[in-house]
Structure 1
Amino acid sequence: MYTTPLKLAVMAASVIFISACSSDDAAETPVDALVWRSCEARPNLECTTLKVPMDYTRDASEEITLGINRLPALEQPARGSILVNPGGPGGSGMALVEALSETDSIPSRIRNAFDIVGFDPRGIGRSTPVDCSEFASDGASIYLVDRAAIASYANEAIAVVQACADKYGSYLQQLGSRNVVRDMDEIRIALNEDTLNFIGYSYGSRLAGLYLQHYPETSGSLILDASMSPVSQVMTLTEQALPAMQKNLFAMLAQCDQFAEACNADDLHQQLIAKANSLRDAGNAEEADLLTEVVVLAIQSPELGDFLIGPLLTYLQTDDYSEIEVTLNLFGFDEEDLQGEDDETATLAVLCADDASRPTVDELEAALSRFNNVSDLLAESSVAQAASCVGWPQALEPLPEITTRNAPTSLVIAGASDANTPQRWSEEMASSIGGYLVVSEHRGHTGVFTEVSDCLDEIAEQFLLEQKLPDTDRCEANPE
């Protein structure tokens, strides 16, 4: 359910999501609020900052700083701006714009007409960031095989919650999606735009849906690519994603006969389960976690999965991990990525601000049983994900199901084989917000302007430039 398959480390923070007085009623930021300068490390980009209230419910709230950058339109003055979010939660919009500036993936008509604007959501990157990595436990395995493992995981998480809350205090109570959407409207105002054009990838689609719900009159052309569900409960989303994960797992394992004549997917699946269990039983939880993360990464990134089958077979036969490591490095991943070295404070702050549920050990044990009925290999790590909000204080204003009938028609993109955000979520979101759904046959996660489908890019281009909806509801992938 995330844009990256990295494990959710056992860390959390106290959060109370408050929005009794929203930015819908806030005074507009002055038009000249943004002062753009050439970015130090990226002279082809422009950077700025914007002050926004930490707590929108208070008239005299302390302010925080949002980091913003833009890739200027090739033809100035620009027709307008397109705000982008890469997902997560926890992804950097500024990093996304930096990456886009180095490719030709954006159609020329879009580049000519629009400034592409990125921002780091509050708590992330260059937007008054939070970091509780010093409190994370090195011994917290995500391979939760039984009640005792679940209870130990929960107890360690609770301790980290308190330490992180002591460090950041009330700021951690203001990092939920509703506040991020308020910030987005403040950015719109500061950009002097009458309406907001926005591309939200993966979790960013939740921001798009919320913006459409709360700001229908200033909603422009919004694209939800690889959409999240309109509901926000972590347990529900984890359970709903598991069948798609399992389906993609077997699609990957079915390729093993290309590397070993007698190999079949069922046998390889059982070997992986046996290996993970034997590692855990031998007290090698770190390697069990690593194996699980490699498999999850391969499921969510099918192109990587194509190359990992051979190294996985070698590892199961010889315990030699080196071929896996080489393959991961070729695709830009390293062991730190898999072991959750990146701080997840803001990720969990958002998830648990949006979700009111706080699962108990009993509920997680029951979930383990249900998950095992779907996937023996992925159940244990999925329970760790479902436990993300264990020990967190009650959210005062969790997100209800996103729904609107007053907003303009948005464009919702689903990947037919997407294991990160299953197709059903895009279908449900499109139904809830009155969006136009397009299902794409590309492999992997997001699709718009990622060079996986010319059909998708043409649809997005026409929608952004002309507000034109497509004549089709399906797109083929580009030849590989």
Structure 2
Amino acid sequence: RFYDQRVTWHPCDSEAAPRGLQCGVVTVPLDYAHPKRGSLRLALARLRSTGDRPRGSLVLNFGGPGGEGVGRLAMAGKDFMPLAEGYDVVTFDPRGVGLSAPVTCGEAAYSGSPGQGRDDGPDDPDDGRRESASPDRVADGDPQPYLRRLREIAEACAAASGPVLEHMGTVDAARDMDVIRHALGDRRLNYLGFSYGTRLGAVYAARFPHRVGRFVLDGVDTLTASPVEQARAGAAGQQAALERFLAWCVRDIGCPFGRDARTAPRQVERLVDMLDAHPAPTGADRGFTGQDLVAALGQALYSRALWPQMERAVADLVEYGDPRGLQGFTPGAFSPPVFRRDGPRRSRQPVPLDNAPAALLAVNCADSPERPSARRIAAELGAMRASYEKASPVFGRYRLAEALMCYGRPRGTDFVREEVHDLRSPRMLLVGTRGDPATPYRWTVETARRLGSSAVVLDNKGEGHTGYGSSRCVQRTVEAFLLLGELKGGSCPAEEPGPGA
């Protein structure tokens, strides 16, 4: 019955939706192994094609995991209007995300013990225990308090999210996309996926090779690395991007990290340490810490266009003690807030405030079969700490905590690691950016080799996470393939961001 439906489109009822954006739903099984045991409604949005003879639909996934599609298309639809010349531009909120049965960890994840659901105040007698278990402290010594907290939070997430949490993996999302393809009336799926969306696209191509149309994967994710390896590579990628930012910054007389690129990284480390010891006042109960600065830097490095804004924001903090500019850099997927005592509570809105980080953890853990024991973690923590700090003195500590986040959760699938290789699908375009802080360029090369002859690589020499939105050369190459079928690899030069970047 799930392949018997067609999408019924209607104007989106959100006040924030731009004129012309249409919304719809598709119903999918909760559990594909038992399709009669419940279903989910996935939220869709589309921009109608402006062309005379559209090729059908182009489905977008903006990444994450945990990133919503409907809200993103509502916000940034104009960026994809060139593609609307040949397609209806369609996106969706993946299962567990946004308006599609959103997962959450609920209030219990932010209180001393799951299930209590109480509001923690500054005089909470349990305050010290939970503080020692926070992710920015796990690298300091005994991991056991942190691991106990992770298990508690896993239980809280399962209780607050309901049955969808057990079916959040990329394999399920890929099967959802095939139901969406059919409901759109398309014989083949045309697809543009960013970041995590490249993992989703690769899994779809492995699962449904005969249904692959024109595929572009931009900001290519790894298919083989474990969470520990991914987090360490992420730390190294962010450190390299930070050093390129600092080399740019020190050319300006107003750079808050000095005028010497060799000593500037140490200035960042000192500022992080100082803020951890003495947080900057914010006017709220909680000050701005060094780990908040790390999160802000991590977000700013996603786009070279944000570098001037980051420089000014850090200068305001250093010169005037004003962290407001840095607070404007939302942590997003880089900094999951589910472990902070003062983090977001369950919202009364349709989408819980912690949905994005809760979904990120759920998907990544569902895609990973590794679950090291507490004994093994304790035995290897010293070596892990050293390797992460070597990868990045700034980001390593946070990334080390991130590597352990699946502890206490059910073992995930090995499908992504074992089955996604040597595709029998039509050729697709893989875009890798040399200065990408989130998905290192080597992942593009490794994934292309793994996918086999189906993969054609475009080497973008620029900075930032993904290339379509920041490089005119990448944009032209992607659009030539999606609109005209002209598939070319090669390379694109680094480009300065334009005034509208």
Distance 1:193 1:289, change over 3 A: same
Q: Normalised by the size of structure 1, how large is the TM-score? A: 0.84
What is the aligned counterpart of 2:398 among 359, 381, 387? 381
1:325 is displaced (CA, Å) by: 2.0
Distance 1:473 1:135, change over 3 A: same
Q: Deviations over 1:321-367 (max 9, x none)?
A: 42x423654xx749999783451211111000001112443244431
1:176 is matched with 169
Q: Normalised by the size of structure 2, how large is the TM-score? A: 0.81
* Ranges in structure 2 where 5+ consecutive residues have no aligned partner: 112-130, 280-285, 338-343, 345-352
More deviation, 32-41/359-368 = 359-368
**1:115-154 map, 5 Å:** 115-137=88-110, 139=131, 141-144=134-137, 146-148=139-141, 150-154=143-147
2:324 is matched with 325
1:130 is displaced (CA, Å) by: 1.4
CA distance in 2, matches of 1:407, 1:370: 38
1:106 maps to 2:81: yes
1:439 is displaced (CA, Å) by: 1.1
Counterpart code for 1:259:
I
CA distance in 2, matches of 1:380, 1:337: 13
1:290 is matched with 292
Q: Deviations over 1:271-299 (max 9, x none)?
A: 33234334445699961221221222233
1:126 is displaced (CA, Å) by: 1.0
CA distance in 2, matches of 1:274, 1:149: 24
CA contact (8 A) 2:60 2:192 kept: yes
Answer 1 or 2: higher relative contact order, Cα 8 Å, separation at least 6: 1
1:369 maps to 2:386: yes
1:266 is displaced (CA, Å) by: 3.6
CA distance in 1, matches of 2:331, 2:75: 19
CA contact (8 A) 2:232 2:396 kept: no
CA distance in 2, matches of 1:325, 1:260: 18
1:80 is matched with 56
CA distance in 2, matches of 1:258, 1:59: 60
What is the aligned counterpart of 1:198 among 171, 191, 194? 191
CA distance in 1, matches of 2:362, 2:173: 12
1:428 maps to 2:446: yes
Distance 1:259 1:135, change over 3 A: farther
Distance 1:368 1:286, change over 3 A: farther
Counterpart code for 2:263:
D
1:456 is displaced (CA, Å) by: 1.4
1:269 maps to 2:265: yes
2:361 is matched with 348
More deviation, 121-130/279-288 = 279-288
CA distance in 1, matches of 2:138, 2:34: 45
1:235 is matched with 228
**1:207-226 map, 5 Å:** 207-226=200-219
CA distance in 1, matches of 2:75, 2:235: 30
- Number of equivalent positions: 443
Identity in percent? 27
Secondary structure of 1:265's match? coil
Counterpart code for 1:287:
T
1:455 maps to 2:455: no
**1:13-162 map, 5 Å:** 29-30=3-4, 32-41=5-14, 42=17, 43-75=19-51, 78-101=54-77, 103-107=78-82, 110-137=83-110, 139=131, 141-144=134-137, 146-148=139-141, 150-162=143-155
1:412 is displaced (CA, Å) by: 0.3
1:16 is matched with none
CA distance in 1, matches of 2:310, 2:160: 41
1:300 is matched with 302
Secondary structure of 2:242's match? helix
CA contact (8 A) 2:29 2:39 kept: yes
1:453 is displaced (CA, Å) by: 2.1
CA contact (8 A) 1:230 1:403 kept: no
1:358 is matched with 371
Q: Aligned-residue CA RMSD in angstroms?
A: 2.8
1:392 maps to 2:409: yes
1:163 maps to 2:156: yes
CA distance in 1, matches of 2:302, 2:84: 30
1:432 is displaced (CA, Å) by: 1.5
CA distance in 1, matches of 2:316, 2:371: 41
1:403 maps to 2:414: no
Secondary structure of 1:442's match? strand
Counterpart code for 2:387:
R
1:51 is displaced (CA, Å) by: 1.0
1:177 is displaced (CA, Å) by: 0.5
CA distance in 2, matches of 1:464, 1:267: 45
